Amino acid sequence: MFPVARAAQSLVARGIQHTAIRQAHRKHEPTFHDKYGTMVLLSGAAMFSAVWTYVLTQLKIEWGFSPVGRITPREWRE
């Protein structure tokens, strides 16, 4: 390998190592997801459950049960 190329490669590698060390020793500041991620997830799940509980219990939804055998025809009046 040429001396110039070897020197350039070592400079690039050294720069990458310095960057990695700097980031590893930096204090980690919590992000929005670190602070509130679980609460947002739980509140979304609670809202989802509340809405579907209302829909399934309060609205008069017929779930496609067949009336065959439950409905008897009336007699025809002439």
Specify the residue for token string 């947002």: 40
Domains of the chain: 1-59 (4.10.51.10)
Provide the pLDDT for residue 25.
64
31: phi then psi, degrees, rounded to nearest 5: -90, 180
What pLDDT sits at residue 50? 96
Q: Which long-range contacts (CB under 8 A, 24 or more apart) does 69-72 make?
A: none
Number of alpha helices (DSSP H) and beta strands (DSSP E) in the chain = 2, 0
Q: Report the predicted TM-score, pTM, of the whole model to 2 decimal places.
A: 0.43
| pLDDT, tens digit (0-9, with 9 covering 90-100), for 9-65 | 776 777 777 777 776 666 678 888 888 899 999 999 999 999 999 888 887 766 667
